Amino acid sequence: MPVVPLHELLATARTGGYGVAAINVVNDLSIEAVLAAAAQERAPVVLQTSVKTVKQYGAAPLHAIVSAIADAIDVPYVLHLDHCPDRAVITDCLANGWGSVLFDAHDLDVAENLRQTIEVVAEARAAGADVEGEIEGIQGVEDGIGSDARTKQQTLEIAIDFIRRSGVDVFAPSIGNAHGRYTQAPVLDAERITALVAATGVPQALHGGTGMTDDQFRDLIARGCAKVNISTALKEAYMKSGWEFLRGAAERDVWDPPSLFRAQRQAVLDMAAGHMRLFGSAGRA
Ligand code: 13P
């Protein structure tokens, strides 16, 4: 399967008026299921790995698993590192073939974040890779990274200046979105997406996708969210299908691991394919 630079994938998505599903994978089964969904739907896709997943496998083995599975599939994809505040992990992933990284330095003040993001962009360019930037925390904990507290919001001017001066390929704004399940329907600052894209031309990454309404997705994609992140929905599909299956296995007292894996694969594949159709990326590859 062709590896395509993230900025190209997102530029094509902006022109076509659709969003690319960026789905957090957790193991070989979920990698295969998401890629199978992309192949089934003829959709470009971003496979995202958390720092935790990178550390669980090691960057080189994880990249080898992705490439081996992706070899059989002929739609474009990017392997992306999700929220990473740790420069050493970024360097490791870039050295091992990741096509894109989110340098999440929102804990630093904006000037220091900018200084370091410029360095990360240079490092990524040397490796032929792209960078997502972030200056405000997205509420909620994602695989051990982040916080449930709201972090400081920056002005629109500061965000625009950061995007322009850092040279990032995609930006992760905080617009009232949050990782994990929303306890109430999110109220999103969609105008901020329009303003950021109008001022910079840089596509935006919509974090906290799980739990947004179909209309919110469509509106935000039309405004410039070309990368749409989904993680919790995969975890739920994976775990709940496993739970359902194991309840049946216990009733029958039949214990066949490949049957469990098939049930989980199908649940993850259906979840991913549904999002690709919703985001308008189906049929674009
Ligand atoms: P959800 O877990 O809410 O789908 O958010 C995913 C995400 O933004 C990953 O960075």
pTM value surpassing 0.75: yes
Give the position, in ligand 1's atom list, of the atom nearest the Cα of 102: 10
Cα of 201 vs centre of ligand 1, distance in Å, is 23
State the distance from the centre of ligand 1 to the C-alpha of 209, rounded, in angstroms.
6
| Closest residue by CA, ligand 1 atom 8 | 207
Residue 181 Cα: closest atom of ligand 1: 3
Q: What is the secondary structure of the chain as a DSSP string? A: --B--HHHHHHHHHHHT--EEEEE--SHHHHHHHHHHHHHHT--EEEEE-HHHHHHH-HHHHHHHHHHHHTT--S-EEEEEEEE--HHHHHHHHHTT-SEEEEE-TTS-HHHHHHHHHHHHHHHHHTT-EEEEESSPPBEEETTEEESSPPPPPPHHHHHHHHHHHT-SEE---SS-BSS--SS-----HHHHHHHHHHH---EEE---TT--HHHHHHHHHHTEEEEEE-HHHHHHHHHHHHHHHHHHHHHT---HHHHHHHHHHHHHHHHHHHHHHHT-TT--
Pick from 52, 231, 239, 279 the residue to mutate for probing ligand 1's pocket: most ligand atoms within 8 Å of its CB.
Answer: 231
**Which residue in the list 28, 71, 74, 82 is annotated as catalytic?**
82
> For atom 5 of ligand 1, which residue has the closest CA?
208
Q: Which atom of ligand 1 is nearest to the CA of 232?
A: 2
Annotated catalytic, 215? no
Averaged confidence pLDDT in the chain? 96
Which tens digit of pLDDT belongs to each residue from 240-284?
999 999 999 999 999 999 999 999 999 999 999 999 999 999 999
Distance 85 CA to ligand 1 centre (A): 16
Q: How far is the CA of 140 from the centre of ligand 1 (A)?
A: 9
pLDDT at residue number 1: 60
| Ligand 1 pocket at CB < 6 A | 24, 82-83, 142, 179-180, 207-210, 229-233
**Atom 1 of ligand 1 has which residue's CA nearest to it?**
208
Q: Which domains does the chain have, with CATH numbers?
A: 6-279 (3.20.20.70)
Residue 139: its pLDDT value, please?
81
From 210, 238, 279, mutation site for ligand 1 pocket: most ligand atoms within 8 A of C-beta: 210
Sorting pLDDT into bands at 50, 70 and 90, what band is 160? Answer: very high
Pocket test for ligand 1, best of 102, 106, 207 (most atoms within 8 A of CB): 207
User: What are the tens digits of pLDDT across the range 92-134?
Assistant: 999 999 999 999 999 999 999 999 999 999 999 999 999 999 9
Q: Residue 81 Cα, ligand 1 centroid: separation in angstroms?
A: 13
Residue 150 has pLDDT above 90, yes or no: no
